[in-house]
Structure 1
Amino acid sequence: MSNISEASFSEELEKEGIDGSLVLGHPSGLFVLFFTEMWERFSFYGMRVLLINFLTSAIISGSPFSGWGWDPVQAGALYGTYAMLLYISPIFGGILADKYLGYRMAVVIGAAIMTLGHLFMAFDTPLFLYLGLGALVLGTGFFKPNMTSILSEMYKKFPQKKDGAYTIFYMGVNSGAFFGMMLCGYLAEKIGWHWGFGLAGIFMFLGTLQFWFAKPIFGKVGDPPTAEQKEAAKKLTAESTNPDDKPNPFTKLDTILIVVMTILGLGYAINDPLSKIAGFDVFSSLQIGDFAGQNVAIISALVLFLFVVISRLSRYTRVVRDRLIAVIIFAFFVIFFWMSFEQGASSLVIFARDNVDRALSGNSLTIFNTVNTLLTVVPLILITYVVAKLTKQTFGKALLSNVVQFICFAGVWGIAIWMLYREYTAEASEITVSWFSILNSFFIITFANFVSKVWDSKYNPPAAVKYGLGLIIMAIGFGLLAFGANGIQEGVKVSMIWLVLAYMFHTLGELCLSPVGLSYVSKLAPARMIGFMFGMWYLAIAIGNKLAAILGGQIEVITKQYSLSTFFLIFTIVPIVAGLIVISLNPVLKKLMHGVK
């Protein structure tokens, strides 16, 4: 079936109970997932790009632009915990979906909870903001792992089509992020914070409805596992003669240590913002000299974690053990990548607001408006074309889903045209802080195909080299910021070109490292352990996100004590060193991977 025709593909899908209507050579269900993920990412990134800016903006009584006046350390502590928990909660949501709920119901539950979270945040009061962030963490736990699980199950018998499907799905992620940051950011910064947070919630709600009403298209894909399926899976494992397929059950000691480290880890995540914002420190009794008690707690959790990992690794066969060690080494270095890359959600937002010259008038405003119009309208036309194709194929099967989709795109087109008209008729304007964040999605769409072709050519480097290149290329972006900010005095602002170039290099680094990481986890881990190892991988990303927010919160402290250039040099030097180390480990990693390429 490597060269399966569209007619045969459609017939095979129908046999599986999946709607056989094809859009651009793929099942219509893929594009339902595409748009569901797009609206979720619209909401997530639309809110994310506002949070640090809102928390650290000045308090202006009675103004729709009044922030909370927090310092970056406090804002970073709250955002870091939120980002950390976002990558941990899917571990539990995936388990519940696998065993009880089914993927599709888990997605609906997650989307509904996230809609409630965005609604809470539109009130932007302390109580509702904390409730909103909590709901977003919980909802993401159900939503995030199960969207890709539905996609994977839909293509289970068509592996030759899976790479193309994931590429299309990934475009949905970036399209949602692009328009969410652009439109939510514009409304928040030009009209008021309520509007930006509220718009994110509206599209999350509509995305939920669109997915729910499209149920007939998926057949039984994503349904809860039946008792027969569970029994068959157990029987297959029990009868396997491959020692790598045999379960490695957790011992009592493993379980106790996992519970202790989980309590300590979650305690640290909650205590960090609690101590910095409210001045209440749960771990004060653990303090050693000037070393904070919460740091003692998290280091203790990491030590226990390493002990459990090492003790479990010793129980595997040599090949499996070596491959899992390779995954752990990759996961360790991915922490340094996200620690730097995720400055885009914290310190770079503050830098863009306070240190970048965003004022435009005359010819510079005309040029920007022309570029911004092309950036907005061209992608919208392309995605609207896909919507029209999907509607044509599914009109009689999922009418309500199509109606909701029409409302979504009518809304996006309306807001986009209003935004562009408003900017064209202004004599002078200031680029929104959030506009710079859309560059990551734009550069991904621009360069993804080029990078993919390099990996498919004779120049495809080993995994360790890809990792090293990702870290080093991303670090070049921070090096440019350090150079651009060198020697600037207080009150002087730098050209926006430095930030644009930084985002370009950050994106190129991401394209080298991020997709490769997930691919190697799936290749190196035994089938029965893929879920567990993905959990390990997301834990590494969670740690990277938390470190990013903690270090990003120090931007004003380091700038006052040293300079803004020094702050960016930290994120230049550390990733370059990490990148060189991981490249030098290539021979070791090659041996550990035992032929996996």
Structure 2
Amino acid sequence: MSNTAKLPHQKELFGHPVGLYVLFFVEMWERFSYYGMRAILTLFLAAPVIMGDPQSGYGWSNAETLSFYGTYTMFVYLTSIPGGWIADKFIGQKKAVMVGGLLLCLGHGILAVDAQWAFFTGLILIVLGVGMLKPNISTMVGGLYKEGDDRRDIGFYVFYIGINLGAFLGALIVGIVAAKWGWHYGFGLAGIGMALGQVMYFYGLKYLTGVGDFLGAKDSLNKDVMKKPLNKKEKDRMLVMFLSFLIIIVFWGAFEQAGGLMSLYTEQKTDRLLSFSLPLIGNEVPAAVFQSINAFFIIILGTAIGSFWYKWAKKGKESSSLFKMAIGVIIMAFGFFFMSKASTEVVMNGDKIVEKSAMIWLVLAYLFHTIGELCASPVALSFITKLAPIKYASFMMGAYFAATGLGNKVAGLVGELSKDAGEFEVFTGIAIFCTIFGLLILAILKPLKRLTHGAEELKLNK
């Protein structure tokens, strides 16, 4: 073999390390399984009990369903803190991702069993699996690039498209399967997707040499770094990251209405009838399928928005991560005005729905939510890998996902308010609050940027 030939982990494809595409497909299948399960979770819990029917659910009320959804999705992401800590202190990111994947395969597989013990056991295993996998695979993406490599942000956009390709296919396919053959067939299909992701990970390990290894190992070149206390610059950056988590909590607290209140609204108050018939679906679109719209828009718009911010920065204009995140919150907020409009079209006669709202308002809401998400979420992932001290890399990524989990709990609490206040008031309140919050972040941007100590302006040649 020639001395100039690159080893597998050194190879690049389309200007990025091949390892990026390995992690892309692993995360794609993991998100296929998670979002496929999530797309039908609230619908399953709220479905009436019909003995012997594959469409039988648990018959929970909307309030009970939304409360459980918020609590469950909160714990899914809160476990990212111990998952990141375990990786930093004991086994490294690479092994943590492997353990998380195995737990997820078990969890989704058990959900396919039509029994209450299996349902709750499966959910617990998914909570543990996501906690081990999610923060560590994202940190590994950052580890593919050297400090100051300006391809990092674009790399996270590519990775983010993988997340949402899985979310799109999961919500679409699992939603259709669950609607046609029953809830537990849908849960089982999600498990097959996770198994494919695990196979992909084992195959691609050769492209991840030197990425995600345990830094505290005796033969690690960075073992001394793990013992050093943080300096002032690192402490300032940690402070900015914790402040940015507040943005994350607010963003996901609003955005995650998609899996809770908006999902139930779609099922109960949206006219989903088509004037034509589609294969497998018929002329009524399953409510769970609408969960795929957001992911579809991300696949279409992801690289375009990533390129826009890249060119914007090249022109010397404001493009810090905090700026993008604040803009994302504001854009996402506008999507809820379309939901407010949708709720005005619903006509009630007592407890009976006489007229439902049009599907177009949901589509427009998801469009604005998607643009906002693309300005905030992949940028935040890259932001954490830029600022986090190496000894706390996975822990801080875990803290980011924990903030996401708290946002999910907020989403459940806010969704519950619709029981008394009504959807119009809740949707409009979210829109107004998030707009004001985003503007406030923009107003205090300069002091927050100073605390990053130039981390956002690092270049590859420094």
Whole-angstrom CA distance in 1 between matches of 2:91 and 2:162 = 25
Query: Structure 2 matches for 1:25-64, cutoff 5 A?
Result: 26-64=16-54
How far the C-alpha of 1:344 sits from its partner, in A, is 0.6
Query: Structure 1 residues 532, 62: closer, same or farther in 2, change over 3 A?
Result: closer
Q: Cα deviation per residue 1:508-530 (whole Å; 9 max; x = unaligned)?
A: 11112222323333444444444
Whole-angstrom CA distance in 2 between matches of 1:454 and 1:214 = 31
How many residues are matched?
447
Whole-angstrom CA distance in 2 between matches of 1:537 and 1:221 = 20
Alignment match of 1:488 (pick from 343, 346, 363): 346
Query: Structure 1 residues 350, 146: closer, same or farther in 2, change over 3 A?
Result: same
Query: Structure 1 residues 527, 46: closer, same or farther in 2, change over 3 A?
Result: same
**Residue matched to 1:470:** 328
- Structure with the bigger percentage of helix: 1
How far the C-alpha of 1:340 sits from its partner, in A, is 0.4
**Residue matched to 2:301:** 447
Is residue 177 of structure 2 the alignment partner of residue 187 of structure 1? yes
Larger radius of gyration: 1
Give the letter for the 1:493 counterpart: K
Give the letter for the 1:554 counterpart: L
**Residue matched to 2:186:** 196
SS in structure 2 at match of 1:360: strand
Q: Indicate if the aligned counterparts of 2:142 and 2:382 stay in contact, CA closer than 8 A.
A: no
Whole-angstrom CA distance in 2 between matches of 1:103 and 1:528 = 12
Aligned sequence identity (%)? 37
Whole-angstrom CA distance in 2 between matches of 1:584 and 1:190 = 50
SS in structure 2 at match of 1:206: helix
**Residue matched to 2:222:** 233
Is residue 429 of structure 2 the alignment partner of residue 566 of structure 1? no
Q: Indicate if the aligned counterparts of 1:464 and 1:585 stay in contact, CA closer than 8 A.
A: no
Whole-angstrom CA distance in 1 between matches of 2:238 and 2:131 = 25
Whole-angstrom CA distance in 1 between matches of 2:439 and 2:212 = 43
Query: Structure 2 matches for 1:68-217, cutoff 5 A?
Result: 68-156=58-146, 159=149, 162-217=152-207
Supply the RMSD in Å over aligned alpha carbons: 2.9
How far the C-alpha of 1:347 sits from its partner, in A, is 0.4
Query: Structure 1 residues 52, 100: closer, same or farther in 2, change over 3 A?
Result: same
Give the letter for the 1:340 counterpart: A
**Residue matched to 1:434:** 288
Q: Indicate if the aligned counterparts of 1:11 and 1:20 stay in contact, CA closer than 8 A.
A: no
What runs of 5+ residues in structure 1 fail to find an aligned partner?
1-7, 239-245, 249-315, 370-420
Q: Indicate if the aligned counterparts of 2:256 and 2:408 stay in contact, CA closer than 8 A.
A: yes
Is residue 200 of structure 2 the alignment partner of residue 337 of structure 1? no
Give the letter for the 2:307 counterpart: K
Query: Structure 2 matches for 1:475-554, cutoff 5 A?
Result: 475-486=333-344, 488-490=346-348, 491=353, 492-554=355-417
Query: Structure 2 matches for 1:388-403, cutoff 5 A?
Result: none
How far the C-alpha of 1:237 sits from its partner, in A, is 6.6
Whole-angstrom CA distance in 1 between matches of 2:141 and 2:434 = 34
Give the letter for the 1:508 counterpart: I
Alignment match of 2:229 (pick from 247, 251, 267): 247
Whole-angstrom CA distance in 1 between matches of 2:22 and 2:320 = 35
Whole-angstrom CA distance in 1 between matches of 2:52 and 2:436 = 49
Q: Indicate if the aligned counterparts of 1:555 and 1:567 stay in contact, CA closer than 8 A.
A: yes
How far the C-alpha of 1:122 sits from its partner, in A, is 1.3
SS in structure 2 at match of 1:59: coil
Q: Indicate if the aligned counterparts of 2:80 and 2:399 stay in contact, CA closer than 8 A.
A: no
How far the C-alpha of 1:157 sits from its partner, in A, is 9.1
Q: Cα deviation per residue 1:521-575 (whole Å; 9 max; x = unaligned)?
A: 344444444444434333322211111112223333332xxxx311211211211
Query: Structure 1 residues 463, 212: closer, same or farther in 2, change over 3 A?
Result: closer
How far the C-alpha of 1:27 sits from its partner, in A, is 4.9
Give the letter for the 2:78 counterpart: I
SS in structure 1 at match of 2:326: helix
Query: Structure 1 residues 333, 28: closer, same or farther in 2, change over 3 A?
Result: closer
Query: Structure 1 residues 126, 451: closer, same or farther in 2, change over 3 A?
Result: same
Give the letter for the 2:441 counterpart: V
SS in structure 1 at match of 2:346: coil
Q: Indicate if the aligned counterparts of 2:32 and 2:169 stay in contact, CA closer than 8 A.
A: yes
How far the C-alpha of 1:131 sits from its partner, in A, is 0.6
Query: Structure 1 residues 19, 578: closer, same or farther in 2, change over 3 A?
Result: closer
Whole-angstrom CA distance in 1 between matches of 2:451 and 2:152 = 27
Q: Indicate if the aligned counterparts of 2:76 and 2:405 stay in contact, CA closer than 8 A.
A: yes
Normalised by the length of structure 2, the TM-score is: 0.87
**Residue matched to 1:580:** 439
**Higher RCO by CA contacts (8 Å cutoff, separation 6 or greater):** 2
Give the letter for the 2:229 counterpart: P
Query: Structure 1 residues 497, 150: closer, same or farther in 2, change over 3 A?
Result: same
